[in-house]
Structure 1
């Protein structure tokens, strides 16, 4: 893969070959290679292009992947230069991306706080943050304990389980059904549909429609039967959200909270079960689970790539020339392992919370405390319910499958005393 300079000289700013008419073929962030070796792709792109690289997203849609830690921070902290509003996306405006593209579920504009900047963003985000703070004080850990025990009851007598498919994959969504005021029976369907929206592919649109239908019906019900839940809180908030804004914020929180927390829970359990010292430290109380979560946040954040930002003007970033309306996607994993800031990824990051896993700037994740509470409680319940818990395969046998946006652990088989 070669780079096409826009003008002469080895240090000249470079433009995205596909987006701006050059002849090189950018790397695809989807497909067979990306599914098994995203870290290898990030490393190759960094070597060939530096901290920003031209890539292709699903459907061969051109974008810039931000690989450098400092460059990620610049984009996240400067919404006037790098907007979250996809209505300025040039490929969309000029008809090169269809409304049915799976990318639109992740990148397309919606009437929610992550799609806007400035005062509209502040108004909408206040409704989300105020109500997340309210529900976080209403027994999140009690809900997690209840559903964690219920999940464990289903396999506790077997002496073996897959902690991905039988625990981490659904537990956060079950907690969210209680937080939102949904029926527990909706949890499994919503978890599967949320995973498919993130994964992309031909079914993403249909699964998104299923989620929107369930949440629309929930909103109608809560107007008639309000409760002490997140949905009612949005309906009654002084920001005065309209119907579309309410349903789209329910969608936003449901999908992002479940998919990131389920992925993070699986990765934390993986790290604990592949290190006997960590496992014994947690069981004995000598090690705090927050230290394990912090390490995972640095090395395998639940979202590997964050969509999307849009250049508000022609500018330079990481040695490349961006044009107004260009799409950028943020490499959170790549930024966290940037050799410019972490020349030795084996060095402990304990106490260092400057990772990119929660994004940053005005759009930083507002639900961090809830996610942390789910992880900590879920791990604690599991370790104390299953004596003799151990990995049933070698660590090298554990595999993960990546999409553009995340890399998820395929399975985590364990054994324990029945």
Structure 2
């Protein structure tokens, strides 16, 4: 099937977007799509359901490095506001759609353009810029050491649930004054939301309820945290804007940093060359983290931009209201972005892991601080850890957007360092 000249809604038999993450080798799927369609490929977000009289919901997946830069830098043609999503406006996306927690309207800077984007993103940027990095570093390092000490005597651990996931969540709960007792519920809610499965809206509601509770608590008793700061920020006009600004910060702060840590540790456990370079100091921790941002970015596919006019892109007819998904993982494998020579590519941070343009992630510095500390501490305190299952048996959380190991079981052949 050839897509050029055909409208998105007319295309059938498309590859599901989730197939790019729920597969052994995502690069192979991206390569297949690129060979078949070029730099822009039509994909299926949700399948048709004839029994419920629902049509398939499709999108364009942008696979090419240069085309992603075009889309992210042309705000006058590509909007972040889901109000411009034709399928949503026409009622083709049902109210219970699992897509809505990730693609539906929210009152925060992620889903706005121009002045409204700047108004709603500025409180987040200011809050992140104001983080005491030394205090955060000390707190994260102490928690890494505490978590490892908690499982050190067992001779085995799940580095996902027991290490990589709790560390960013503890940092997030500290920032917003959330209770550590809510960590498990928060992780479960965000995993469901990002998963875009049958429980995605349940996860969204659970997250909103947790954040509403802390908003009400901080209105009654202000504290030195980001919740209080958001409540009193002049650019956030309603409680819903406060809540939804917290949503994007909490979700992005936990999900992406957890993925970054987990994928770096997974690669260290499954690639002898990578592990040898990292453990023997030939590859710095920051270089290792950068390698993962290229190879396995925390968000593989980033939703979404919406076309504001009919135009041609990558040989395809893009019509007004079409959604475009940024294939960050696909674009990072573009040979024009890297030489393929590890010596030359080390230190190259031109990846698209944090997206690009006005909507690039504003949390790169604290995310790197957390990820670097977690990986470095694991290297120092768990020098002899080995993967406890074959690499091909590592399961992944279901999600069309991210590729995160669901578990990362390891064993220790010698007692960990203390």
Task: Report the TM-score, using the length of structure 2 for normalisation.
Answer: 0.91
Q: Can you give the 5+ residue segments of structure 1 that lack an aligned partner in the other structure?
A: 6-13
Change (3 A) 1:299 1:402: farther
Q: Check whether the contact 1:336–1:355 (CA below 8 A) recurs between aligned residues.
A: yes
For 2:153, which of 153, 157, 160 is the aligned residue? 157
1:25 is aligned to 2:21: no
- Relative to structure 1, is the Cα distance of residues 401 and 331 closer, same or farther in structure 2, using a 3 angstrom cutoff? same
Match of 1:50 among 38, 42, 54: 38
* 1:370 corresponds to: 366
Instruction: State the 1:239 CA deviation.
Output: 1.9
Instruction: Indicate the residue corresponding to 2:51 in structure 1.
Output: none
CA distance in 2, matches of 1:345, 1:315: 37
Is residue 19–residue 29 contact of structure 2 (8 Å, CA) maintained in 1? no
Deviating more after overlay: 318-327 vs 407-416: 407-416
- Identify the residue that residue 115 of structure 1 maps to in structure 2: 111
Distance change >3 Å, CA 4–CA 74, structure 1 → 2: closer
Q: Which runs of 4+ in 1 moved over 6 A?
A: none
Alignment of 1:122-133 (within 5 A): 122-133=118-129
> Residue in 2 aligned with 1:177?
173
SS in 1 for 2:251: helix
2:6 match:
15
Q: CA deviation at 1:414?
A: 2.0
Question: What displacement does 1:394 show?
Answer: 4.9
Q: Describe the shift of the 1:369–1:235 C-alpha distance in structure 2 as closer, same or farther (beyond 3 A).
A: same
Equivalent of residue 235 in structure 2, options 239, 261, 277: 239
Contact 1:38 1:402 in 2 (8 A): no
SS at match of 2:325: strand
Secondary structure of the 1:208 match is: helix
Aligned with 1:385 (options 365, 381, 387): 381
Q: SS of the counterpart of 2:305? A: strand
Summarize deviations over 1:198-255 as a string: whole Å, max 9, x none.
Answer: 0111111111101101101101111222222111221222324321100001111111
- 1:296-325 per-position Cα deviation (integer Å, ceiling 9, x unaligned): 000110100000000010111111111111
Q: Deviations over 1:362-399 (max 9, x none)?
A: 00000011110111111222223334333334545545
Matched, 1:321 2:284: no
Name the CA shift for 1:308/1:139 in 2 (closer, same or farther; >3 Å): same
Distance 2:341 2:400 in 1: 23
Structure 1 Cα separation of the partners of residues 204 and 334 of structure 2: 34
Secondary structure, counterpart of 1:149 in structure 2: helix
The match for 1:93 is 89
Paired with 2:38 and 2:211, the residues of 1 have a C-alpha distance of: 43
Q: Indicate whether 1:351 and 2:347 are aligned.
A: yes
Any conservation in 2 of the 1:36–1:402 contact (CA below 8 Å)?
Answer: no
SS at match of 1:99: coil
User: 1:186: which partner in 2?
Assistant: 182
8 A contact 2:21–2:300 mirrored in 1: no
Q: Is the 8 A contact 2:339 2:345 kept in 1?
A: no
Distance 1:95 1:81 in 2: 23
CA 1:138–1:249: 2 relative to 1, 3 Å: farther
Residues 16-66 of structure 1 deviation map (CA, whole Å, 9 limit, x = unaligned): 45x1x35x4222113699444533221111001000011110243111010
Which stretch shows the higher mean deviation, 136-145 or 374-383?
136-145
Q: Quickly say closer, same or farther: Cα 1:56–1:225, change in 2 above 3 A.
A: same
The answer (yes or no) to whether the contact 1:28–1:34 under 8 Å persists in 2 is no
| Residue 200 of structure 2 is aligned to residue 204 of structure 1 | yes
* CA RMSD, Structure 1 to Structure 2 (Å): 2.3
Residue 255 (structure 2) pairs with residue 259 (structure 1) = yes
Q: Which residue of 1 aligns with 2:69?
A: 73
Residue 140 of structure 1: how far off its partner (Å):
1.5
Inter-partner Cα distance in structure 2 for 1:182 and 1:293? 28
1:245 counterpart SS class: helix
Distance in 2 between residues matched to 1:224 and 1:95, nearest whole Å: 40
